[in-house]
Amino acid sequence: MKERDFINQDAARATEESQLNKPITLSLLLTYGLPTIFALVVMGTFGIVDGVFAMRVLGAEAMAAVSAFAPFFMIVLSIGAMFAGGGSVVVVKKIGMGLKQEARQNFTLISMVAFAIILSISVAAFIFPDTILGLLGANYEILDIARYYFRITVWSFPLMAMGTIFNQFIIADGKPMLGMGISLLGSVISAGLNAVFLFVFEWGIEALAWATVIGTAIPAVILFLIFCNNRNGTIYFVAPQMDIKAIGLSILNGTGALIPLLASAMVTVVMNNTLVRMDGIGAMGIAVAGMVTAMITTVSVVFGGYLQGTMPLVSYNYGNANHGRQKLLFKYNIRIVAVLSVILTIGTIVFADLLMRIYLPPGTELHDMAVRGLRIMTLSFVVSGFNGFAGALFAALNKGAIGGILSTVRAFAFNLPLLLLLPRALDLDGVWLATPAAEGLTIILSITLLLKLGKRYHYLG
């Protein structure tokens, strides 16, 4: 009986691994990409749902408080994305090399290290909320309400990050639809709890915070239990062994995922501080920026979701040294990113007014300001998908440092300086225009690196 079970488990693992080795077609890429797009868009709705309830039910001050908190949320999410993206590259590559038990040990170790790091951040944030909120741009108008929200929501950090990590590994294990369903469940419950806590219990800003904590806990706990019992799969928890190299490579390869989110957080902090100091805008500018950036982030994760879902295919074939499949993957990915760029740019510009009506009634000053800001920032979608693809590709090829360089240059050489300079000449429009301008400058570097390194890493030529 035991021998039969062992054979069945081995056959199941071989079947799941064969999913990564199927013929490269549009259908295969969409099978891996669409569930991750859906999962990340669903996770992005946490911020939108909180913002809608904050703006519609509690008012602009609550929206400003939630928005001021958002950059810190992005910082923690970036750490989760780093271990998710970088760790999956390490693990999937070893599976492709036939080192399955070592891959499982690395997976377990990566999960434990990530949880410990993010839990320590939550503890520190809980102890020093005013210091952190002050740096984030929360002024005297919103500090009290922001503090209430902050000190509860910080406990969602480890849950949210582990949900991101586990979702990436469930995809790598050949179960993308399962991750999508679990993410949807968490989002639906979070939205429902927002309504219950606000309208039934009348908790105020605390309602949004507790709904976020519970909504992020559900996917994390379910996926944790799956990996505890996933003996028929390829990836599951085993007794870990210390592997400093695996942790280092996970961090290095994950910088392509870390730095864009980290940079986005820093850009948002600078944006908030710029807006709060503008005459006639103040804390309400943070509320508008929160609405615009939440919508931009939620739409742009379509790029990130597709790339996160499909890059395990690149890592697997790189580990197998199957260069023909690598070239085919590159051609398909470029075309799909181009199509997504056109759809997202046109769609967001056309429907900007409707998207902002989720937060605000039309005809108000804040609504008009938000619509204009959304349309200007949407111009970044023309090239941001290609920049994201370049970073994700190099990370999947175990060259995360290259993706990290791209993200660093985009954020610190282009975006932040433009955010400091353009508002002086263009006022509020300069705030919105900084991101598209930075993406436009970065595409030059992305194209140069992709062409120069194509033959070396076997995706061109």
Q: Kindly report which listed range (119-133, 272-286, 295-309, 419-433) carries the lowest average pLDDT score.
A: 272-286
Is residue 171 a contact partner of residue 36, using CB atoms and an 8 Å limit?
yes
Determine how many CB atoms are found less than 10 A away from the CB of residue 341: 18
- Identify the CA nearest to 382 among candidates 430, 407, 345: 345
HSE-CB of 325 using CA atoms within 13 angstroms: 20
- The confidence score (pLDDT) of residue 4 equals 47
What are the tens digits of pLDDT across the range 431-442? 999 999 999 999
The larger pLDDT score, comparing residue 315 to residue 50, is at 315
- The confidence score (pLDDT) of residue 187 equals 79
What are the tens digits of pLDDT across the range 174-187? 787 787 788 778 87
- The confidence score (pLDDT) of residue 5 equals 47
What are the tens digits of pLDDT across the range 188-226? 888 889 889 999 998 988 998 999 899 899 999 999 999
Which sign, positive or negative, has the C-alpha torsion 261, 177, 167, 234? negative
- Identify the CA nearest to 425 among candidates 410, 437, 413: 437
CA distance linking residue 205 with residue 214, whole number of Å: 15
Q: DSSP letters of 412-425?
A: IIIIHHHHHHHHHH
Q: Indicate whether 8 pLDDT > 90.
A: no
Q: Which two tokens stand for residue 262?
A: 């980290």
pLDDT-derived band at 53 (thresholds 50, 70, 90) equals confident
| Summary mean pLDDT of the chain | 86
